[in-house]
Structure 1
Amino acid sequence: MVAMARGQAHALEAFVAATVLLASVTFALQVTAVTPLTASTSSQHIENQQASVAQGLLDAAAENGTLERTVLLYNGSGETFYAVGEEDQFVSGGPPTAFGAMLNKTFLDRGIAFNVYINFFEGDKSRRAKTLVYMGSPSDHAVSASTLVTLSDSDELHEPIDGTAVPTGDNLSVVESNADTSFYVSDRSPGPMWAPVEVEVVVWRM
């Protein structure tokens, strides 16, 4: 019952967040007049607009929690994201979460491709990247946006149910202590914080 209530709350929250964000994006795209003097300035204007929209989407998803739940959409025993298939990453669009739906409606439905990377540091301080979405090699006119998500030991892994990321009941500390499960980002802190990660979205017109 608790898990069901959480799932319903997350679904409602995600729906409201996505609706508000998409309405704002649609309004911004409709009211922005593109009247450059040259093709190059036109291209730059479009790139700036895409970067701004991507940043706004990330910030909104981070604030309402849908971004963190997507970062945690991980099968600890299978050592891969849920529902990715054999590719180990989503290749046709966003993941089956509220954040993925926001990406699809904001970019994919308008002919804009995107890749999503989760960047973090390992114990040797080397920068690593986990690819969440890979729709191809970005063009020369691709732009990117990013935001930080701080994970805690008590954060639970999530699984997709009807397009919503729902907690599995296993938090990161439990996953780490179990020899049969793992998470792609190692614990970086002796305290209650697990690790900070950077979610990066790269977009370009197909």
Structure 2
Amino acid sequence: MFKGIFSNKLDTCGQMHSLEAVMASLIMVGVIVFAVEATSLTPLTSSTANAHIEAQLQTMGQDMLNVLSYTGLSHDSDLKDDVMNWDGIEYVWNGTAYDSRDSNNITLTNSSLAEMFEFIAIPRGIAHNVHFTWVSDDGVTITRPYIYNGDPSDNAVIVSKKVVLSENDIGNASIFMTNTGIPDADNSSGFYNIVNVKMTLWRM
């Protein structure tokens, strides 16, 4: 008699505990699903992806400048050659070549930076600007575009490399100054000026 009474009571308690366990499991699964769905929509994930892309662009841009800055025995670096061969013209990518912004009849040639962009950046859909910066006779920092492809996005990265120019590098300082606007910073020595090559990269 007593055995039957306690058995029914235990069965009822066991069923309640089982039901509670099932409900708790369903609630936990629901919370996990909600958390996963919410995470995939939060700005944090987008920011993390953007940060990864920016890190890749930063590394790629710095590697490009490092390669172009390599100086072989008795030879100037390709980056220095680009600065010395610059004629002061701003070039824009037209889809097939870098043309002068002012005249389509002038195309950028013999430029290692342009060749590097055509080989690496353009096939990957990476927009790019290059500016040359230097200090004028008055101590004012001057910046002029060398290659321009538009206004950078908010996720653009900037890398730079300094190029030291001597009077022997320039040759005719008067013509170089007229074409580029880069002055001789010290007439009393063989030092000419320092040009900072600033590269801006972003995904299109």
| TM tier, smaller | 0.5 to 0.7
- Is residue 158–residue 200 contact of structure 2 (8 Å, CA) maintained in 1? yes
Q: Which residue of 2 aligns with 1:123?
A: 137
What SS does structure 2 have at the residue aligned with 1:38?
helix
Q: Which residue of 2 aligns with 1:99?
A: 113
The question of 1:85 aligning with 2:77 is answered no
Cα distance in 2, alignment partners of residues 174 and 84 from structure 1: 25
Quick check: which has more Rg, 1 or 2?
2
- After superposition, the Cα gap between the structure-2 partners of 1:81 and 1:71, relative to the gap in structure 1 and judged at 3 Å, is farther
Q: Could you report, residue by residue, the CA deviation over 1:90-129 in whole angstroms, capped at 9, with x for unpaired residues?
A: xx9x764222111222211100000000011111111110
Equivalent residue letter for 1:202: T
Q: Could you report, residue by residue, the CA deviation over 1:110-168 in whole angstroms, capped at 9, with x for unpaired residues?
A: 00000000011111111110100110000011001001000110114xxxxxxxxxxxx
Q: Could you report, residue by residue, the CA deviation over 1:23-53 in whole angstroms, capped at 9, with x for unpaired residues?
A: xxxxxxxxxxxxxx82211110110110111
Q: Which residue of 1 aligns with 2:62?
A: 55
The question of 1:46 aligning with 2:43 is answered no
Cα distance in 2, alignment partners of residues 204 and 81 from structure 1: 19
Q: Which residue of 1 aligns with 2:151?
A: 137
Seq. identity, %: 27
What SS does structure 2 have at the residue aligned with 1:58?
helix
Structure-1-length-normalised TM-score: 0.63
Q: Which residue of 1 aligns with 2:195?
A: 197
The question of 1:72 aligning with 2:72 is answered no
Equivalent residue letter for 1:186: P
Q: Which residue of 2 aligns with 1:3?
A: none
- After superposition, the Cα gap between the structure-2 partners of 1:57 and 1:96, relative to the gap in structure 1 and judged at 3 Å, is same
What SS does structure 2 have at the residue aligned with 1:154?
helix
- After superposition, the Cα gap between the structure-2 partners of 1:187 and 1:51, relative to the gap in structure 1 and judged at 3 Å, is same
Select the structure that is richer in strand. Answer: 1
Cα distance in 2, alignment partners of residues 42 and 73 from structure 1: 39
- Is residue 74–residue 81 contact of structure 1 (8 Å, CA) maintained in 2? no
Gaps in structure 1 of 5+ consecutive residues: 1-36, 157-170
CA RMSD of aligned residues (A): 2.8
Structure-2-length-normalised TM-score: 0.63
Gaps in structure 2 of 5+ consecutive residues: 1-43, 72-76, 92-97
Higher relative contact order (CA 8 A, sep 6+): 1
- Is residue 90–residue 101 contact of structure 2 (8 Å, CA) maintained in 1? no
- After superposition, the Cα gap between the structure-2 partners of 1:71 and 1:109, relative to the gap in structure 1 and judged at 3 Å, is same
- Is residue 176–residue 182 contact of structure 2 (8 Å, CA) maintained in 1? no
- Is residue 122–residue 186 contact of structure 1 (8 Å, CA) maintained in 2? yes
- After superposition, the Cα gap between the structure-2 partners of 1:102 and 1:119, relative to the gap in structure 1 and judged at 3 Å, is same
Give 1:87 shift: 3.0
